[in-house]
Structure 1
Amino acid sequence: MPAHVSTVPFVPVVLGGELASYTLARAFHAEFGVRTTVVSRTVPSAVRGSAIIDNVRVPQMDDDDVLLAALARIADAHPGHRLLLLGTVDVWVGRIAGLRDRLDERIAVPYPPLPLIEQLSDKEGFAAACQQVGIAHPVTRFLPDQAPETDVAGLVEDLRWPLVAKAADSVSFSTLVYEGKQKVAYCDDLDSLIALRRTMSGAGYAGALVVQERIPGGDEQMRVLTTYSDRSGRVRWGRLGQVLLEDHDPAMIGNPLAVMHGASSTALAEITRLLEQVGWTGYANFDLKVDPRDGTEYFFELNPRLGRSHAYLHAAGHPLAAPLVREYVEGRDPFDDVDPGPETDDWLYSIVPVPLLMRYVTDKENRARLATIRKGGRVIRPLRYSVDSGAERRVAQLKSDALYARNFATHYRRPVTS
C-alpha cells in the first residue's frame, strides 16, 4: 500500500527519460501509488516497458512552443488533476524554470526562480557564494573564454599541479561533441591545460573553464548531500550519502554509482547557511569530498534538483515525493504528516552489480559495512522493482550491468586511492 495519500489528485510529469527519471517515478509510485508521465524525444531504455510510467514522445521538445503544447495535452487528459513538473538533469530544470510564466495554473513548478538557479548552478557563482559565507571549496581559478592563451599561466600560477579542469557552464558543455570529451579532465601541466582549452573552444564551447587543485583521495572520499528547503527558504531536511564508487567513463566521470547512507556533523549546517542566505527553495544536491589529510569537507557544486543517485535516499527510507506533493500540489507544509525517515546506514543503492562494486571498495570499514548490508539483502538496484518486473525491465537491468562491466574493464581496471 502507498505510504501517503494526496488530498489533491495529481500527475508527476518528468522531462527527460534518464535513469533518474525512472527512479523518481518509482519513488512516486511507492509513496503515492501513482503513475508518472515521462516526456522524452524517443523511448529511452530506462523507461521502456515500465508498468508505472506513461511515456509521451515529443521529438521536438527542445522547442518551447512544442513542449508547452504537449504539457497542455497531458493536463487536458487528466481533468481535475494538477501536474507536478520535474526535471532530472540541469538542462530540463532550467527549461522548466524559464517557462514558469507561460504555464497555466494546472501545472506546479517546484524550483527557485531561473536567475537563482543560473547563479548557483554556475561553478563560478557557486564558488563565490561559498567564499562569501565561509564554506570550504577547493582552491579555484576561472579561465574566461576571452582570456588569451598567454594569460593562462598567470591565472593558475599559484595552484599546485595536477589540476582538475571542467566547464563552468555544464548545460552548454552537455551539448558539445568532440573526440576524447571528458566531463572532468585532469591536467598534469600547463601544456595539457592549454590543449584542453583549445579543444573545447574548437568544439563551440564559449564559457569559462574551472580549474581547481585536486583534493587527494579516491572515490570513497566523495560524499553526496541532498537538502530540502521550504517555500520560505528554510532548510527543513538534509541527508548525506557515502559514495563507494563513481563512474569512470570519460563522458560520465564523477557520477556516483554506489552510495551508502552516510553521516557528517558539519556538512548540513554549513550548506544551510548558504541556502538560507540566498533564499533557495525545493531540493538541492551537492557533491563534496573529504580531504584525507585533515578531514575538511570541500563542496564542489550545487545541482538545482534531486541528484542522479537520489535513490540512495529512497533506499534508506526517506520520502522523496511526499514533500513536493504536500507543498506544491496541496499547498501544505512539506512535512505535514510526512516522516522524514530514519538516520540509518544499513542500506545500499548501487547502479552497478554488487560483485563489481566489491572489487573497488578498499576502505576496511566500508567493506565491513557493505558485507553486512549485502548479507542482509538490503540492497536497492535502480531497475529492479517488484511491481514493475516485466521482461523488458529485466533485460534493461541486464544490459545496464553488462555496460558497466565493460566500461570499468575499459576505463578503470584498478581502484585509485590517492
Structure 2
Amino acid sequence: MSEAAAATRPQETVILLGTDTPIGLAVVRDLGRHGYRTIGIGRRANALAGASRHCFRHHARADGEAGLIAQILALAGQHQARWLLTVGESDILLLNRHRAELEARLQVLAPRSELLMQVLDKATCQRHAEAVGIAVPQTWRFASLAEARAAAPGLRYPVVLKWSDPHVVAAALDAAGLALVKTGYARDAADLLGQLAPYEAVGAFPLVQEYCPGHGLGQMFLVRDGEVLLEFQHERIHEWPPEGGASTLCRSVPLAHHGEARAQARALLRRLGWTGVAMVEYRYDRRSRRYVFMEINGRFWGSLPLAMAAGLPFAAALVAHCAIPHGSAAESAPAGNAEARVPLPRDYPVLTACYWIPETKRLLRVLFQRRRIQDPFFRPDPLRSLLSYLVFPLRPSARWFIFQLSDPKPFFSDLAGVFRKLLGRT
C-alpha cells in the first residue's frame, strides 16, 4: 500500500517499546508507511526512531518496571492505542510478567513466555531442530569445572562458548563481577579451561560447541499458528565484531535458493506452533553445502531494515494479519481487508544493506587491529574490505540501515550521538 493510500484511512495506534536501535526505526517506518500511528518509547528522549517522521509521539522510558507498565497503560488510554509491540527479548519477558494487566487495555503482539522460552534456551531449541531433521552443532554441557577438565583434552579445537540462555545467568554473572560474553572461542584445552574457570564462582558454565565454518544465513518468517504468511532470507556478508555478531553488511537472497533448509525452518516453526515474527539462523558452508542450526530469534532481528527495504512489511503485517488470534470468531471482521491493507509479497529484489557506523568499526578492526579478532579461522582481507567499503555507496542495489532520503532525521540524530560520545571521551 502506498503512503498516499494509507493516509486516506483513519489511523489506528500502535505503541512500540524499543526505539533506540535500527530495528525499532525499521518498525516505526514500516508501520507509518502502512497507515499506522506509532507512539514510541525509548531509553532516551532522543532515541533513534523518535526522530523519524513516522513516529507520531515519542517518550523516554519511565524508571522501573512498575513505572514502565503504568506509562504504557497511560499512553494507551491517552492515544486510544490498540496494540503493543516491542523489540528486545528482555522487554518481551518483562511485558509477559504483566500481560494480563496490559491486555485489559491493548493487545500485546509478542510471544508468550512459555513459547519464547522454547527458543531462548539453546538446548531446548536444538532438540526441536533435531526433531525436524535439522543438523545442529555438537554440543557439550558441563556441570562442573572438574567435568570440563576430564573432557577438554578429547575435544576438537577450536570450540565456541555461548550461554544456553543468557537471560537466566545475567544477574548471577553481574553479581559476581563477570561480563556476559555472547560468544567466545577457545583454541585448545588450556584456553578452554582458562575461559571456563571464572564461571565456577556462579556454578554455571556456557555451552561448548564445535566450530562450524561458513557464514550466517538468516531465514525470516511471519507466522500465524504455525502457518507462514511472509518469508524472506538474507546472508551476512560482514558482522561486528568481524568474527561474529550483528550484521553490518547483508544481502537478500531469492527464495529460489536454500529451499530445503527453508522447508526445515518452516517445519520447525510449525512444530513450535509459532505466531509472530521469527528468524531461523543457520551457519552455511558453501564448500560443503552444509547447513548447521544456530538459533531462533523469536523477535524482530537486527537486519530487519534490509527486509523492509526489499518490500517485506513484517511489522505492519504482524499487526494486520496476526493481531486477532487465528480461528477466533472475531477474525472475520479485520481479516477481510488485511491483505488490501498490508499485502504479503511473495517475491522481492536482491539488495544489499549497510549499517554504516558498525561497518566502519569493522573496517578499522580489519585494517589496524587484526590481533583482536578472536575467531582463529577468520581470514581478514584488508584490501577487499576497504574496496567494498568505498564502492558500496555507488551500487544501485545499495541501501542503508538508517539513512533514507525520505526520512533523513534519524541519520543525523545517530551521527550527533556519535559525536557526543567522541567528545565525552576527550
Q: Same fold (TM over 0.5)?
A: yes
1:42–1:207 distance in 2 versus 1, CA, 3 Å: farther
Q: Measure, in 2, the Cα distance between the counterparts of 1:190 and 1:210.
A: 15
For the 8 Å contact 2:145–2:196, the answer to whether it is kept is no
Measure, in 2, the Cα distance between the counterparts of 1:396 and 1:367: 23
CA distance in 2, matches of 1:193, 1:86: 40
Cα 1:389–1:292 change in 2 (3 A) is: closer
TM-superposed CA distance for 1:394, in Å, is 1.4
Secondary structure at the counterpart of residue 296 of structure 2: strand
Q: Which runs of 5+ in 2 are unaligned?
A: 325-330, 367-379
Look up the equivalent residue of 1:11 and give its one-letter code.
Answer: T
The aligned counterpart of 2:186 is 187
Q: Which residue of 1 aligns with 2:166?
A: 170
Q: Does 1:346 align with 2:359?
A: no
Greater shift, 8-17 or 126-135, is seen at: 8-17
Cα-to-partner distance string for 1:150-183 (whole Å, 9 max, x where unaligned): 1114456664111000111122455655577532
Distance 1:149 1:341 in 2: 51
Correspondence 1:213-224 to 2 at 5 A = 213-217=210-214, 221-224=215-218
Residue 327 of structure 1 aligns to a residue whose secondary structure is: helix
Q: Is the 8 A contact 1:35 1:52 kept in 2?
A: yes
Q: Deviations over 1:122-172 (max 9, x none)?
A: 1111111112222111111223xxx22111144566641110001111224
Equivalent residue of 1:336, what SS? helix
Partner SS state of residue 48, structure 2: coil
Structure 1 position 49, deviation (Å): 3.8
Q: Report what 2:227 is aligned to.
A: 234
Contact 2:159–2:187, Cα closer than 8 Å, also in 1: yes
Cα distance per residue 1:248-269 (max 9 Å; x no partner)? 179xx51111111014222220
Give the Å deviation of 1:388. 3.2
What is the aligned counterpart of 1:379 among 383, 389, 398?
398
Tell me if the contact between 1:8 and 1:329 (Cα under 8 Å) persists in the aligned partners: no
Query: Deviation of residue 375 (structure 1)?
Result: 4.0
Of the three residues 152, 157, 160, the one matched with 1:161 is: 157
Give the secondary structure class of the aligned counterpart of 1:77. Answer: helix
**Where do residues 295-334 of structure 1 align in structure 2 (5 Å cutoff)?**
295-329=289-323, 331=331, 332-333=334-335
Query: What residue ranges of structure 1 are gaps of 5+ in the alignment?
Result: 405-418
CA shift for structure 1 position 387: 4.1
Change (3 A) 1:52 1:322: closer
Secondary structure of 2:229's aligned partner: strand
Q: 2:284 aligns with which of 280, 290, 293?
A: 290
- Does the 8 A contact of 1:42 with 1:59 survive in 2? no
Q: Secondary structure at the match of 1:346?
A: coil
User: More displaced, 156-165 or 125-134?
Assistant: 156-165
Q: Find 1:336's aligned residue among 314, 324, 339.
A: 339
Identity of aligned residues (%): 20
TM-score by length of 2: 0.78
Greater shift, 49-58 or 273-282, is seen at 49-58
1:328–1:229 Cα change, 3 Å: closer
RMSD: 3.7
The letter of the residue matching 1:30 is: R
1:256 aligns with 2:241: no
Matched with 2:374 is: none
Question: How far is 1:21 from its partner?
Answer: 1.4
Q: Aligned residue for 1:413? A: none
| Conservation of the 8 A alpha-carbon contact between 1:353 and 1:401 | no
The answer to whether the 8 A contact 2:222-2:230 is kept is yes
SS of the residue 2:131 aligns to: helix
Pair 401,286 (structure 1): closer, same or farther in 2 beyond 3 Å = farther
Assess, with a 3 A threshold, how the Cα gap between structure 1 residues 339 and 267 changes in structure 2: closer, same or farther: farther
Q: Over residues 29-71 of structure 1, what are the superposed CA-to-partner deviations in whole Å (9 max), with x where a residue is unaligned?
A: 2232x4422223433542454433332223424x2x3222111
SS in 1 for 2:339: coil
Map 1:403-418 to 2 at 5 A: none
Q: Name the count of aligned residue pairs.
A: 387
Residue 329 to residue 215, structure 1, CA distance change in 2 (3 Å): closer
Report SS of the residue matched to 1:227: strand
Q: Which residue of 1 aligns with 2:370?
A: none
Shift of 1:113: 2.5
**Range 49-58 or range 236-245, more displaced:** 49-58
**More off after superposition, 105-114 vs 119-128:** 105-114
For the Cα contact (< 8 Å) 1:233–1:280, is it kept in 2? yes
Letter in 1 for 2:356: V
Shift of 1:211: 1.2
Name the residue aligned to 1:21. 24
Give the C-alpha shift of residue 322 in structure 1: 2.7
Determine which structure has the larger helix proportion and give its number: 2
| Residue number in structure 1 paired with 2:42 | 40
